Amino acid sequence: MTGPGPGVPRLPGRPARARREAGNPFDAAAGEHYDAVRPSYPAESVAWVLEGLGDGLDVVEPGAGTGLFTRSLTALPVERVRSVTAVEPAASMREVLEREVAAPSDRRVRAVPGTAEATGLPEASADVVVAAQAWHWVDPAAGCAEAARVLRPGGRLAAVWNQLDTAVPWVHRLTRIMHAGDVHAARPELRRFAAPFGAEEHARWTWTLPQTAADLHGLMASRAYWLRASETTRAKMSANLDWYLHEHLGHAEDAVVEVPYVSVAWRAAAPLRGGRRR
């Protein structure tokens, strides 16, 4: 389901700034676990990000993490996506990306250190800049200025998230127990990008993923809140999740639960600056 986003109320800069000032929890050895427990992205969301841009695309992916979205991009034929430059600041995440995606499995992909605000990439070298599960860490003004610099005229900036579907009441409570942060990121009324990007479009896709209690514990342990938490806090979170799943919801220890998810995405065109894409 797609449609244009409403208005331009405000940028969600303050929560992102607070997250950055608290430091990057994924700098620690979190990459292997993150890659094992986080879900991939619906094919429809990848198609929407690239829709209408033609073939032979050069893509830059800031905050690429372990390459979950990168894999979706490189699942497309080389005639569609010519290259992907995966920019990732956390060494533990980049190590998985380099091993599993960037080399030697697909020579279209290269992994480089950097951030969305400072990619270190040449000017006008990309057709798409897309952040998957990462834009909430970015300073919108600086990130958009860097994206506009890196994009060719007529290119596109996009952001994608996978979220637990908090429109479902039991899932909303689950995210609170996990301290998941999934409540705010799916709000379509929030403008995601800053100048020089103009009108934004928003899309969303709902789906379910079969998960066990162990899967949900693993998902919780991949969250930034958990990674920063003390052992005491982690023990309390684990006990709360066990109570919720087994006592409150009544699921057996080995039950497989269909967990509702939603994928949300924003996109905006780069200024033409008097030119055409390639």
Most confident of 79-83, 90-94, 107-111: 79-83
Average pLDDT over residues 132-154: 95
Average pLDDT, the chain: 86
**pTM: predicted TM-score of the whole model, two decimal places:** 0.85
pLDDT at 96 over 70: yes
Candidate CATH numbers 3.40.1260.10, 3.40.50.620, 3.40.50.150, 3.90.480.20; the one for domain 2-162+184-204+263-269: 3.40.50.150
pLDDT at 107 over 90: no
pLDDT at 172 over 70: yes
Kindly list the distances between the CA atom of residue 217 and the CA atoms of 26, 66, 223, in Å, as whole numbers in the listed order: 18, 20, 10
Residue spans of the domains in the chain: they are: 2-162+184-204+263-269
pLDDT of residue 92: 87
